[in-house]
Amino acid sequence: MPERFQTFKDLNTSFAVHPITGDLSVLKDDNAIKQAVINLLLTDKGERLFEPQIGSNIRRLLFDILDFGTAALVQNEIKQCLRDYEPRIRVDSVIATPNFDENGFDVTLAFTIIGRDDDPVAVEFFLERTR
């Protein structure tokens, strides 16, 4: 008998239209969680109405000195934010490396979706300060 996995579904934040139905497209399973993780990390604390505690202080750290010390603070902020506000995943590793040429941090995040037998999911993204 096949195992039943919990599925996750969310609207695609690009608001792309499905080519056949004309409805907004959706993301499913690990892609939906990847999008939710990135949105959560890029939400500043105090930014979300009625839930000011949700989010992270990563954007504040992007205006600090670009070095390995700040990269460690970014890593810790990512781990803490996801541990506190994303109960669907278990963070396996976070690596933030200063990218001096691009003036930001290259981040590699690996996590496992809780309650599923899937392989760990890896997400790579670039954090840079914006004005």
Instruction: List the domain range (segments joined by +) for residue 34.
Output: 9-128
- Indicate which CATH number applies to the domain containing 44: 3.10.450.40
Residue 105 lies in a domain: yes
pTM, rounded to two decimals: 0.83
Residue 35 lies in a domain: yes
Residue 101 lies in a domain: yes
Residue 95, token pair as written in the block: 């690596």
**16/99 Cα distance (integer angstroms):** 31
**111/14 Cα distance (integer angstroms):** 23
- Residue 28: pLDDT band (50, 70, 90) is confident
Least confident of 10-14, 35-39, 56-60, 117-121: 10-14
Residue 70 lies in a domain: yes
Q: pLDDT per residue over 72-87, tens digit each? A: 999 999 999 999 999 9
